[in-house]
């Protein structure tokens, strides 16, 4: 069990937001982003493949575009989470369609859990999280301390 320690500094402003959507959910994510464009204009946006291009076009703001999810984009976002370079993950995934890269998706969601990153997997949750005063104001996130785990794990 990991201990929990307070970060010594608040999360960065502007927030660093990763946006991901399966093919069947891309239009829903774009609609959500346009609806919340004023708030998102004050963030640093990261997105996988086609989603990033669509967001940039719809919002008219720069988006850090990574690889397509199945080609490693999900893993790139996971790496950014582990490096503490992502503060918030919006991942509209499609529960009705099997995904060939499902292990990558699970790994991404696992990393968000490991590092205590807020995750919105549908529009309702994304609306609640982005409208929270904690999203726009100073917030000190707690993160787990894996020192004990790392000391007993063979390398």
Q: In the chain, which residues have pLDDT < 50?
A: 6-8
At residue 10, the pLDDT reads 65
- For residue 129, give both structure tokens: 């999280």
pLDDT of residue 66: 97
> Coil, strand, or helix at residue 107?
helix
**pLDDT attached to residue 118:** 95
Beta strand 44-48 with 16-21: parallel, antiparallel or unpaired? Answer: parallel
Q: Which residues are catalytic?
A: 74
Per-residue confidence (pLDDT) for residue 8, from 0 to 100: 43
CATH of 13-137, one of 3.40.50.1380, 3.90.1150.10, 3.30.70.1150, 3.30.750.24: 3.40.50.1380
Q: In whole angstroms, what is the distance from residue 115 CA to residue 81 CA? A: 7
| β-bridge partners, 21 | 92
Residue spans per domain, the chain: 13-137
Q: What's the pTM value of the predicted model, to 2 decimals? A: 0.86
CA distance 120 to 17: 11
- The 10s digit of each residue's pLDDT in 73-82 is 999 999 999 9
């Amino acid at each position: 069990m990991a201990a929990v320690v307070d970060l010594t500094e608040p999360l960065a402003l502007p927030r660093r937001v990763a946006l991901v959507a399966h093919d069947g959910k891309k239009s829903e994510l774009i609609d959500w982003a346009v609806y919340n464009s004023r708030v998102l204009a004050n963030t640093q946006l990261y997105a996988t493949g086609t989603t990033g291009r669509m967001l940039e076009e719809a919002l008219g703001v720069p988006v850090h575009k990574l690889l397509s999810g199945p080609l490693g984009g999900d893993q790139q976002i996971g790496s950014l989470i582990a490096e503490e370079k992502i503060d918030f993950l919006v991942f509209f995934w499609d529960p009705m369609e099997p995904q060939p890269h499902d292990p990558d998706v699970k790994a991404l969601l696992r990393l968000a859990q490991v590092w205590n990153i807020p995750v919105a997997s549908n529009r309702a949750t994304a609306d609640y999280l982005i409208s929270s005063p904690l999203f726009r104001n100073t917030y000190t996130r707690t993160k787990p301390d894996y020192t004990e785990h790392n000391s007993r794990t063979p390398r």
